[in-house]
Amino acid sequence: MELSLAPPAIKAFVCGSLSGTCSTLLFQPLDLVKTRLQTLQGSMQPGSRRVGMVSVLLSVVRTERLLGLWKGVSPSFARTIPGVGIYFSTYYSLKQHFLQDGRPSAVQAVLLGGGARTVAGIVMLPITVIKTRFECGRYRYVSVCGALRSVCRTEGPAALFSGLMATLLRDVPFSGVYVMFYSQAKAALPPEISASASAPLANFSCGILAGVLASLITQPADVIKTHVQVNPQLRTAEAVRNVYVEHGLQGFFSGAVPRSLRRTMMAAMAWTVYEQMMTHIGLKS
C-alpha cells in the first residue's frame, strides 16, 4: 500500500518512525555516556571523586574504540523506530479526535503529549530495559532477541517491565512539558517566519528550548529509572533512598548534561522532521 493511500494515523506512524531513526543514529553516543555516568555513580563509594562526561567518553573510546559509543544502538533502533511511530500516530489521533481545529492550549498540549507518551512508553518498555542494559556495560548480551530470551529465562517476564513507574514518571511529564513549551513557542513566532523557508530552523530552535526545560525537570526520574532497570531487585522507593543517602540531591542530576543534549536534540530533530514530512504529504501535524 502506497503511503499516499494509507490512513492518516499510519502516515503519522511512518513519518514519526523515520524521524526517530535519524535522531537515534546521530545521538546514541550521548545516551550511552549518560547511562554509564548513572551506573558508575551507583558503584561509587560515598565521598569518591565524581566522574565527568568527558572522562567517560574518552574511556569508552579507549577501551571499546569509537564504535563503542554506538553500543546499544540496535535496541535503541528497536525501541525508537516503532516507539516514536507509536508516539506520533497516537498524538495525531488524539489531536484529531479532541481538537478538530486550532492550536492546543498549554493544558491541552500537556495532556496530548503525556497521553501519547504513556501509550508508547508502556508498549516499548521491554525494549527500553534491554537498551539500558546494553549501554551500562554490565551485561554481555549479543542481540536484542537473545537479551529478551535471557531475561525471561533467568529473571522472569516481569523483569522486562522493571522501572515502569520511574519510566512513566520521567517520560510522561517530559513529553507533556515538551509539547506544551514547543507549541507555545511556535505560536509566539511571527507569522512571516512561520511561513518562510526558515520555518524548519525556527521550529528546531523552539524544540531546543522546550527540550532543555523538559529535560531538567524530569532528570531525577531518569536517574531512578536507570538504577531500577540495571538492578531489577531494587524497588523505585529503594532506588530513590539509595541515591539520596549515597550522593545527596546532586545524585539525582547525574548524567544531566549528556541526557539534556541528547533528549533536546533528538526531540527537536524528531519534531522538525515529522512536521516537515507531514506537511510534504499534505497532512497538518
Domains annotated on the chain, with CATH: 3-280 (1.50.40.10)
Least Cα distance to 21 among 282, 284, 279, 266 occurs for 266
Q: Hey, is 160 helix, strand or coil?
A: helix
Given the C-alpha cell 527537536, which residue does it identify? 268
Q: Determine the Cα–Cα distance for residues 184 and 41; give it in Å rounded to an integer.
A: 36
C-beta separation of 201 from 256 below 8 A: no
What's the confidence (pLDDT) of residue 37?
82
- Angle (CA) 169 174 178, round 5°: 160
What's the confidence (pLDDT) of residue 94?
92
Residue 58 CB coordination number (10 Å) = 11
CA dist 176 to 14, 213, 215, 218, Å? 22, 12, 11, 11
Contacts of 155 (CB under 8 A, 6+ apart): 232
What's the confidence (pLDDT) of residue 280?
83
Q: Determine the Cα–Cα distance for residues 104 and 146; give it in Å rounded to an integer.
A: 43
Q: Determine the Cα–Cα distance for residues 111 and 92; give it in Å rounded to an integer.
A: 13
What's the confidence (pLDDT) of residue 109?
92
Q: Determine the Cα–Cα distance for residues 37 and 19; give it in Å rounded to an integer.
A: 27
| Cα torsion 173, 174, 176, 177: sign | positive
Q: Determine the Cα–Cα distance for residues 134 and 18; give it in Å rounded to an integer.
A: 23
Q: Determine the Cα–Cα distance for residues 93 and 116; give it in Å rounded to an integer.
A: 9
What's the confidence (pLDDT) of residue 1?
44
pLDDT of the chain, 285 residues: tens digit per residue: 455 556 888 888 888 888 888 888 888 888 888 888 877 765 555 555 566 778 888 888 999 888 888 887 888 888 888 999 999 999 999 998 888 666 788 899 999 999 999 999 999 999 888 888 887 777 778 788 888 999 999 999 998 998 888 888 888 999 999 999 999 999 898 988 888 888 889 989 999 999 998 998 888 888 888 888 888 788 888 989 988 998 888 888 888 888 888 888 888 888 988 888 888 887 777
Residue 192 CB coordination number (10 Å) = 9
What's the confidence (pLDDT) of residue 206?
93
C-beta separation of 185 from 206 below 8 A: yes
